Chains A and B, each alone.
Chain A
């Protein structure tokens, strides 16, 4: 109990400095151009579809995205039938049958994205002890959001003099502490885009980061569009209230 409390206190008081020391060490991700940023930002649907392709063919080998369902993909511009076809590529456990056995069935649009590993232990075992985190909320769960994701995916480089990188680790300019368990899996031409966009590393990193923003904040467009209307309404309302206030108070200042 005492040790636990000391640990907590150390966490509260001490680890703050470790964290910020690490953060201070790793470079600040440069800001990128995003179609969805700004007050009137909307998603670039073509980029979302390309980003989904990158996630599906590269990231999803190790990373789950358990909060997103196949049905959500319609927001990317896929038709209902296309979504059904995408879902059907995956086998998921069905409800127990009459004999109590759990058999596999093709996924339907209502299913969540199938995770690559059944549990965290299996994921660690397959990845040299490192746990590839779920990507559902990744764009909101890191400082600098999509700028950081893009920087991380393009930030692998040779370690500087004097830094030894242990086996199974890689050097990344933007990762806190620089040593990351994820290999530089995304490269030029890791995927072949259906729309013939050249799949450079920069292009595919940008596309998949856009896709991750959508995955984390699927209602971003509605939010911003509603926001513009609400702000306009409030501006008019405030203006009217100010005019009424002036009129009401006109006789109060002799």
Chain B
């Protein structure tokens, strides 16, 4: 790829010494995208924009927030009542966390459906799992900051999980708390880390983007770009497509912020934290519910904690658990069905996580948790060996030319495209 000729002399001068403009041109202008990428491919860009919205609104909130057990709740209410547009910034940040998880969950399931984690994109996928972990840690600590009842008791329950580890458990918990209960030192360090982690997140996102640009984006057919007829330059084709996708996403986002700002929150967090009064029902934010269900499904505390972290760990080694060489589910008739069962399983886990851990819901959570692990540890490794994939098209433009093309002609199709 030849360096582009820039007209502006200042740009040319800088680019000769530090080729940032050339880099931008390569990565965001002429960068070849598979031409068949659908709107599910917009969620990476959407998540990126949401992260920026979170960082900007978060820094603005931090200017008026006081991380102290006696002042935190009042300072948030001060933002809501007296800071100019404070209610808007706070509701954007509060709902933005949920919207970020919505975008990332769709992004992850898109990757699962189209096999975007397979060679040569394993590191890209693993960086994504690191991003998810960082997001979870950041969101958890952010939820503690308003110092409402759910903040306090959520922090107490989750930090207490670490006490499940033998011998060192209690020491870890004391160290996390900075004392002998969730208190002012805990709030202070959570604020410090909540401010720090998004920037670490941004760094990992940068690596994630760098990694995807090495071999290019996956696509709905799941085969590599064979030539210029299979791809389109990122700009203007995908910049405009992503912008349209983003504007629909922002419509939903604005709907929550302006018309149902507390819908995804819990009313108890408008009650100031009180260590002497336990809420009737401690529930985490909705995006943690599937993991919470797995935690509570295991009768043993340490087992539950390990299972919860295990639910993320299986994602980390997913590229080696899925033994099929075919990426896209469109050519894997059996995996495609298991994919949808997994989606339903995760929704069931989420619902069960919000219900009291007793009776039928405990049974449901246990079955769903076992199935979750079975999907990754048993079904995926076996399916790669047993399933007979449909013949793959010889190139991306072939099914595109034929408009959809789940059933390419046998003569043109090359069975088992090497991934």
> Could you say which interface size class chain A belongs to?
35 or more
Q: Are B247 and A141 in contact (CB under 8 A)?
A: no
Residue interface mask A225-242, B partner, CB < 8 A = 1? 011101100110110011
B91, B157, B251, B282: which contacts A235 (Cβ < 8 A)? B251
User: Bound state CA distance, A20 and B157, in angstroms?
Assistant: 19
Q: Does B184 contact A (CB under 8 A)?
A: no
User: Bound state CA distance, A228 and B254, in angstroms?
Assistant: 9
Q: Does A12 contact B (CB under 8 A)?
A: yes
CB distance from A190 to the nearest CB of B (A): 27
In chain A, positions 113-169 with a C-beta closer than 8 Å to chain B are: 133, 136-137, 140-143, 145
Q: Which of A42-50, A53-61, A204-212, A243-251 is found at the contact surface with chain B?
A: A243-251
**Which one of A145, A238, A244 has the highest number of Cβ atoms from chain B below 10 Å of its Cβ?**
A238
Q: Does A17 contact B (CB under 8 A)?
A: yes
Q: Are B160 and A227 in contact (CB under 8 A)?
A: no
Note all chain B residues with C-beta closer than 8 A to A18.
280
User: Bound state CA distance, A131 and B261, in angstroms?
Assistant: 29
Give the size of the chain B interface in residues (CB under 8 angstroms): 51
Note all chain A residues with C-beta closer than 8 A to B254.
227, 230-231, 234
Q: Are A141 and B267 in contact (CB under 8 A)?
A: yes
Note all chain B residues with C-beta closer than 8 A to A249.
237, 240-241
B247, B280, B357: which contacts A23 (Cβ < 8 A)? B280
Q: Does B255 contact A (CB under 8 A)?
A: yes
A249's nearest neighbour on chain B, judged by CB, is B237
Q: Are A16 and B357 in contact (CB under 8 A)?
A: yes
Residue interface mask A1-30, B partner, CB < 8 A = 1? 100110011011101111110110000000
B35, B255, B401: which contacts A252 (Cβ < 8 A)? B35
Binding site for A on B (CB under 8 A): 35, 74, 77, 80-81, 87-88, 91, 153, 156-157, 160, 163, 170, 181, 232, 236-237, 240-241, 243-244, 247-248, 250-251, 254-255, 257-259, 261-262, 267-268, 270-271, 278-283, 296, 301, 355-358, 400-401
Binding site for B on A (CB under 8 A): 1, 4-5, 8-9, 11-13, 15-20, 22-23, 39, 67, 72, 133, 136-137, 140-143, 145, 176, 216, 218-219, 222-224, 226-228, 230-231, 234-235, 237-238, 241-242, 244-245, 248-249, 252-254
